[in-house]
Amino acid sequence: MIELVRPTSLLADQWWELVDEFGTAAIHGSAYRPDDRADLERPGGLEAWVDLLASYEVDGSDLPEGWVPASYRWVIDDERLVGTITVRHRLTAALLVVGGHIGYAVRPSARRRGVATAALRQALGIAARFGVDPALVTCEDDNLASARTILAAGGVLEDVRGTSRRYWVPTAPRAGFHP
C-alpha cells in the first residue's frame, strides 16, 4: 500500500539508497540536489534538512529565492522508501510553465507498479487542503509514463510549452468526475 510520509531522518539509510539509485538524475519533488550530499551526510545534516523542509510547509518566511511554501512527502510502499513528491501551495511565473503545483519521482526499481499514480492521487488531497484546485502538474513532453500517470489522476492537457506538457488536475471531488 502506498502512503505519503513527511521526510524523516529515521529513514536515512533508505533515503541514501534512493539517492544512489537515481545516480546523477534529478529527483523531482525532493528539494535534493547532488551538491547537498556532503552537507547532509555530516552528523545532524539530514535531520536539519528534513526539519527545514517541514518548515516550508508552515512558514514561507525563510524560503530560498524563487521557492514557494510546499508540502514535502516521501512515498512509501510496504515500508520501503520508493519516491518523493512535493505539493507547492502556489505558483510562480516559472512554475506556471515547468514544475507546477506537484512534482514527483519514483526510484527506477519501483516504476511501472502504479506507485506514481497512487502517490499523485494522495498528493491531490494535500493540494486541496491548501486551497489548490485545480492543480497544475507538468512533465517532459517525451515522458509518456508520467503523462499517463497525470491522465489517470484526471489531468486535462492544456498545452505543451517548449518541452513541458501542462495538465490541470482537479483536487476536489466533482459531480460526475471519476478519476
Q: What is the value of pTM for the model shown?
A: 0.92
Q: Determine the 3-state secondary structure of 170 from DSSP.
A: coil
Element (H or E) spanning 40, and its range? helix 37-41
Do the beta carbons of residue 95 and residue 36 sit within 8 Å? no
Structural domain includes residue 176: no
Q: Please report, for the domain that includes residue 15, its CATH number.
A: 3.40.630.30
pLDDT at site 62:
76
Is residue 59 domain-resident? yes
Q: Residue ranges of the chain with pLDDT lower than 50?
A: 175-179
User: Phi/psi at 74 (nearest 5 deg)?
Assistant: -105, 145
In-domain check, residue 15: yes
Q: Sheet harboring 156-161: ordered strands across? A: 2-5, 70-77, 80-88, 102-106, 135-140, 164-169, 156-161
**Residue 66 is assigned to a structural domain of this protein:** yes
pLDDT, one tens digit per residue, over 133-170 is 999 999 999 999 999 999 999 999 999 999 999 999 99
Domain range for 59 is: 2-169
Report how far residue 110's alpha carbon sits from residue 83's, in angstroms, rounded to the nearest whole number.
8
Whether 177 maps to a domain, the answer reads no
Decide if 178 is inside a domain: no
Is 126 part of any domain?
Answer: yes
Q: Domain tally for the chain?
A: 1
Rounded distance, CA 153 to CA 120, Å?
7
pLDDT of residue 174: 56
Q: Which three cell numbers stand for residue 53?
A: 523542509
pLDDT of residue 124: 97
85 located within any domain:
yes
